[in-house]
Amino acid sequence: MKKGRNSNIELLRILCMITIIIHHSFVHSGISISIENTNTLILSIIQILGKTANNIFILTTGYYMINKKINKEKIIKLIGEILFYSYSILFVYLVFCKEKEIGIIIKSILPITFNAEWFVTSYILLYITIPFINALINNLTKKEMSVLIIIFIVCFSILPTINLLSEYFSNYIWFILLYLVGAYTKLYENKEFSKYSKCFIVVSSIAIICVITSIACFNMRRLGLLEINSFLVFILAYSIFMDFINKKEYSNSIINYVASSSLGIYLIHDNVIIRAFMWKKLKIGSLIKTKFFWLYEIEVVVGIFIICLLIDIIRRELIEEKIIKSIRKNSV
């Protein structure tokens, strides 16, 4: 009997998607940090978990894919999902929107090439090079791989955190590093780090809270302390990832099924057309100073998650499954 995916990791992916929606509610609603408003401080702290979540998604990719092969079916599913949502939403936009922007139309027609969603473009670049990355990893000793990861962390995380070598950073290179770390964890377990994962979560979280508070209170220059490749954000992401890895493994079909829609939820709610329209209509920023803000924020985040999940389930069951069955039938 085929063993299902570890639901600890799948549950983590669901939680990550929720925090990414919270992150987008902050950045796309034009909310700025203010010491005079506790809500903005708390929300800005929570939304950092969105950047942390992006890192965790790639860590899990490395963890899962190091021992697997990229076949035609997987590539078709991934690219098909991206193009389906981009073209479907573009169609609705062209039919119902009176004022149209040529830039948005072009990005929707070529979403990967024109970087309509930065995560998707970088993920595709990573995905198509996984066979070559795996070949490299399989030809490295544990010591050689450790040295390579340390070099990457110093050059693309530690130094950019203090604004050194930041001009050499790219999301694609960062994703390669995260993939290497996730793969290393799968191959060698990294038990020494596991012992202190909870401690690292606490320490890195406190450091991030201090940074955000300092920015609000003293208008402190941010440097690279809160970027996706910040060493603080990286340590927090890896510590959370390791904490879930170390929990007792189990498999829950519902959790795993919902987690399979994570990318779909991302593609819908952060589509270049949807995000320009949705966050403007929701007007989260206008309620940031009210006592009802957190109730509204929860309603918005949960609502977006559930609606996008239902849409993606319909796509998977009615469209994707038929296409995959046809591909398998023709491959026989």
Give 149-174 pLDDT, tens digit per residue.
999 999 999 998 888 877 788 899 99
pLDDT at 10 over 90: yes
Whether 80 and 73 have beta carbons less than 8 Å apart is answered as no
pLDDT band of residue 1 (cuts 50, 70, 90) is very low
* Residues 229-288: tens digit of each pLDDT: 988 889 889 988 988 888 888 899 999 999 999 999 999 999 999 988 899 899 888 888
* Residues 271-288: tens digit of each pLDDT: 999 988 899 899 888 888
Angstrom distance (rounded) from CA 182 to CA 238: 9
- Where is average pLDDT lowest: 153-157, 175-179, 192-196, 282-286? 192-196
What pLDDT is attached to residue 126?
Answer: 94
| Dihedral over alpha carbons 82, 175, 41, 286 (to 10 degrees) | -20
Structure-token match 């939680």, residue found: 15
DSSP 271-292: -HHHHHHHHHHHT-GGGTTSTT
pLDDT band of residue 68 (cuts 50, 70, 90) is confident
What pLDDT is attached to residue 218?
Answer: 54
Angstrom distance (rounded) from CA 283 to CA 57: 29
Whether 256 and 13 have beta carbons less than 8 Å apart is answered as no
pLDDT at 196 over 90: no
Cβ neighbours of residue 224 closer than 8 Å, sequence gap 6 or more: 160, 161, 162, 163, 166, 230
Query: Which residue in 57, 47, 51, 42 sits closest to 236, CA to CA?
Result: 51
What pLDDT is attached to residue 252?
Answer: 93
pLDDT at 322 over 90: no
Angstrom distance (rounded) from CA 47 to CA 96: 32
Cβ neighbours of residue 48 closer than 8 Å, sequence gap 6 or more: 23, 208, 212, 226, 233
What pLDDT is attached to residue 70?
Answer: 82
In this structure, the number of other CB atoms found within 10 A of the CB of residue 69 comes to 9
In this structure, the number of other CB atoms found within 10 A of the CB of residue 81 comes to 20
pLDDT band of residue 74 (cuts 50, 70, 90) is confident
